[in-house]
C-alpha cells in the first residue's frame, strides 16, 4: 500500500486565485511526480523532481505553476492564477529510481 | 498518435468469470505499470512489469516486449474487482504515459 500523503483532499478556488497542494512522498523515495487527471480521465504529466531538483516539466507547468520539493518539507504544487480548466484531480507519486511509482490519494481541485 | 491503447474500453462480466484486459504500446517498451483506480480517484499499483509474467493472488500480468503489449488477467472475478484499470508506459524516474483505462463491471 502506498504511503504517499497528499493534502488537502479537496480544494475549491475562484478563478484567478492561487491554489496550493502538498505531497509527502514515501520515505526514502528520491523521485517525485505530479500528474493531472482531467474530467475526461486523461492523465497529464506536469513535473518531476529528484532530490529537490526539477528533472522535467511541461510548458504549462513552467508558465503557470510553481512547484518545489525542499528537503525535510512537503513537496508543493501551486497554480498561480486558477482557471476553470484547471479543475481536475492532481496526483502526486514517488519512486525509487528504477522501480514502480506509488501514488497518493490526490487533491481534487474545483475552480468556480 | 496515442502511445498507449487499452482494450476493451469497458467490460461487463458475471461474478466468477475471468477478465482479460489488454494494453498495446506504439513505442518501444522499457517499463510499464498496471493500476487500479478507486472510485475516489486514488491509484493502486497492481504490477510493475517491464517483461515476463507476474502473479499476485487472482491477478496475472504478462508483458511481451517485442510485441509491445501487456495483459492483465483477473481470474474468478468478484464484485469488488469493479472499477477502472489503467496501464501506463514508463516508470521509475521516467514519467508515466497512461492509457484511457478499462471500466470493469462485475455483476453479482
Question: Is A51 within 8 Å of chain B by CB?
Answer: no
CA–CA gap between residue A59 and residue B76 (Å, rounded):
45
pLDDT higher than threshold 80 for residue B2: no
Residue B1, pLDDT score: 59
Write down the pLDDT at residue A75. Answer: 97
Burial class (CB in 10 A: 0-12, 13-18, 19+), A72: exposed
Closest residue in B to A93 (Cα) is: B43
Show residues of chain A in contact with B35, CB under 8 Å: 103
Q: Which residues of A77-110 are buried (b: 16+ CB within 10 A; e: fewer)?
A: bebeebeeebbbbbbbbbbeeebbbbbbbbbbbe
Residue B55 phi, psi (nearest 5): -125, 145
Residue segments in chain A with a per-residue pLDDT below the cut of 70? none
Prior bond to B8 cis, omega within 30? yes
Contact B42 A100 (CB under 8 A): no
User: Is the per-residue pLDDT at B94 higher than 90?
Assistant: no
Contact status of A10 with chain B (Cβ, < 8 Å): no
Residue B107 has pLDDT above 90, yes or no: yes
How far apart, in whole angstroms, are the C-alpha atoms of residue A48 and residue A29? 12
Tell me whether residues A33 and B97 touch, CB distance under 8 A.
no
* Residue in the structure block whose three cell numbers are 472475478: B77
Residue A62: per-residue pLDDT: 79
B16-43 pLDDT, tens digit each? 999 999 999 988 878 899 999 988 888 9
pLDDT in tens, A42-68: 999 999 999 889 999 988 877 889 999
Q: Give pLDDT tens digits for B53-89.
A: 999 999 999 999 999 999 999 999 999 999 999 999 9
| Cβ-contact B23, B5 below 8 angstroms | yes
Minimum distance, in Å, between the CA of residue A23 and any CA atom of chain B: 14
Amino acid at each position: 500500500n502506498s504511503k504517499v500523503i497528499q493534502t488537502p483532499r479537496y480544494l475549491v478556488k475562484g478563478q484567478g486565485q492561487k491554489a496550493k497542494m502538498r505531497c509527502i512522498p514515501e520515505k526514502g523515495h528520491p523521485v517525485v511526480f505530479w500528474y493531472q487527471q482531467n474530467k475526461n480521465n486523461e492523465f497529464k504529466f506536469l513535473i518531476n523532481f529528484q532530490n529537490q531538483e526539477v528533472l522535467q516539466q511541461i510548458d504549462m507547468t513552467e508558465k503557470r505553476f510553481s512547484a518545489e520539493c525542499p528537503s525535510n518539507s512537503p513537496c508543493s504544487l501551486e497554480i498561480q492564477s486558477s482557471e476553470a480548466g484547471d479543475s481536475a484531480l492532481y496526483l502526486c507519486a514517488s519512486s525509487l529510481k528504477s522501480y514502480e511509482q506509488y501514488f497518493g490519494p490526490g487533491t481534487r481541485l474545483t475552480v468556480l | 498518435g496515442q502511445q498507449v491503447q487499452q482494450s476493451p474500453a469497458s467490460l461487463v462480466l458475471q461474478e466468477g468469470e475471468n477478465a482479460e484486459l489488454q494494453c498495446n504500446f506504439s513505442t518501444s517498451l522499457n517499463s510499464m505499470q498496471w493500476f487500479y483506480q478507486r472510485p475516489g480517484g486514488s491509484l493502486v499499483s497492481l504490477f510493475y512489469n517491464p517483461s515476463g509474467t507476474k502473479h499476485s493472488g487472482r491477478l496475472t500480468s504478462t508483458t511481451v516486449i517485442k510485441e509491445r503489449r501487456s495483459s492483465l488477467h483477473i481470474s474468478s472475478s468478484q464484485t469488488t474487482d469493479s472499477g477502472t484499470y489503467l496501464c501506463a508506459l514508463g516508470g521509475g524516474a521516467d514519467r508515466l504515459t497512461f492509457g484511457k483505462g478499462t471500466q470493469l463491471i462485475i455483476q453479482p
